[in-house]
Amino acid sequence: MNTTELFKGVAVVIDDEINDKTANIRNILNQIERKNVPFLTFTSLPSDEIISNFQNLSFLLLDWRLIKDRVTSDDLQDGVTIPSTLRDHEADENMEFIKKLMNVCFCPVFIFSNQDKNAIIEKLKSEGIYSTDRPNHIFVKSKSDIIGRTKLFKEIDKWIKSNPSVYVLKEWENEYQQSKNKLFTDFQKLSPVWPKIMWENFGDDGANKSLELGELISRNLHTRMAPFEFSDEILSKRGKKIDRLELRRVLEGGRFISNENLHENDIAPGDVFRVSSKYYVNIRAACDLIPDRAMANSSQDNVQLYLLKGTKLSDNQIRKTFNKEYGHFSEIDSQVIIFPLSGGKAIDFRFKKLEIKQWSELKDNRIGRILPPHINRIQQKYGLYIQRQGLPRTPNIAVFANGN
């Protein structure tokens, strides 16, 4: 497959020699133009105000050495050496720019330069945003290596096939954009004021209007996204062996979101709280996690949470409880074990006692939220637990000859 076809949208090129028709960057720009990719050009690092608009870039090209504004061409021709302090300051500015970009957009960043690429990589590594033993979304190459008719995109194609994170991002992003446009076009046809209609409806229910509107959009967006067809060739490609801690972090990312990524006024099933050494998970239905309209002056602080208490399992307990054959934990009817969450922990939640506390008592102790379908399993299993039918014991002697 030709992965360069995934790069839809606007690209950004930052190079101080863009206006020099004899510079290498002109060849690179010509290659981009032949691919019919629209792009913006800058001869210096953009301001913070411009960076804040780089939220949906296809990719970005950065010349590591932007010296034209500080050292003239005549100086360079006369053999003037660029002071090391200026080079270091320039490298620091580039790093600050990349970090700011990463805060607003996760996109491939291609650093092209006539400078020694290993020096650039060492700088990136020292800042903790580049690793030599795993794929990166930052690509470092000498300009001379990608001069030609199609060399740039051949290098991009080769690189993206070895970088599953960027590949999946671009596949998902393209489908997302199509579905987003279809969603808002469909609703616009239904009524140009559809957000106002739903906003008033959520308000009549006493719900968190912003949360409900967001979830309405997310649900409808998801249903419009076609089944993905990711490349097995790319995602099954052999690479560095994944260690256990890295695997745990990835698994946790799929089932638990930390509190720093949650809105402080968003209460939901799956919210996890830590009080001393104990953990609590909220299992109350989302529709009940809103202020009581029947209560005068009721606020979010008065919302009651239905909590199951949990304790952390030791590594030895994890190994003893885990069923290797079926790939899950051996649980009794009155428990659910969630692993991994909150830094790779396994938490054993028990059903025997349901505690009711107000949001105001625990909101400062929230550490994150268990995501579907894992919170759904806790709620469903608890529902079965409170409706269970007690049965008499079967005597041991009925099974074992000596009763043991």
H helical segments located in 191-314: 194-204, 209-224, 232-235, 244-255
**Closest residue by Cα to residue 92 from 82, 84, 104, 102:** 84
Pair 354, 370: CB distance under 8 Å: no
Name the DSSP class of 192: T
Among 120, 104, 124, smallest CA distance to 112 is for 120
Best CA proximity match to 140, nearest among 105, 166, 116, 170: 116
Per the DSSP assignment, residues forming a β-bridge with 60 are: 12, 109
Q: Tell me the CATH architecture of domain 3-162.
A: 3-Layer(aba) Sandwich (3.40)
| Type and span of the H or E element at 260 | none
pLDDT confidence of residue 403: 64
**pLDDT one-digit tens code per residue, 152-177:** 888 888 878 888 888 888 888 888 88
Where are the extended beta strands (E) located within 29-124? Answer: 39-42, 60-63, 109-113
Q: Which of 235 and 179 is assigned the larger pLDDT?
A: 179
Give the C-alpha separation, 325 to 267, whole Å.
37
- pTM for the model: 0.71
In this predicted model, what pLDDT tens digit does every residue of 56-65 receive, in sequence order? 888 899 998 8
In the 8-state DSSP scheme, what is residue 83? P
Q: Is 108 exposed, middle or buried (0-12, 13-18, 19+ CB in 10 A)?
A: buried
Rounded Cα gap, residues 77 and 85, in angstroms: 20
Instruction: Please report the pLDDT score of residue 76 as a whole number.
Output: 45
Residue limits of CATH 3.40.50.2300 in the chain: 3-162
Q: 11-14 and 60-63 as β-strands: parallel, antiparallel, unpaired?
A: parallel
Separation of alpha carbons 385 and 379, rounded Å: 10
- Cβ atoms of residues 10 and 39 within 8 Å: yes
CA-closest candidate to residue 139, choices 46, 66, 59, 56: 59
For residue 7, give the DSSP letter.
-
Are the C-beta atoms of residues 40 and 124 closer than 8 Å to each other?
no
Kindly report the average pLDDT of the chain as a whole number. 86
Question: How far apart are the C-alpha atoms of 99 and 106, rounded to whole Å?
Answer: 11
Q: Give the angle 370-372-374 at the CA atoms, nearest 5°.
A: 65
pLDDT-based confidence at residue 335 (cuts at 50, 70, 90): very high
pLDDT at 317 over 70: yes
State yes or no: pLDDT of 75 exceeds 50: no
Cα 27 to Cα 36: distance, rounded to the nearest angstrom: 15
The percentage of the chain sitting over the pLDDT mark of 70, rounded to a whole number, equals 92
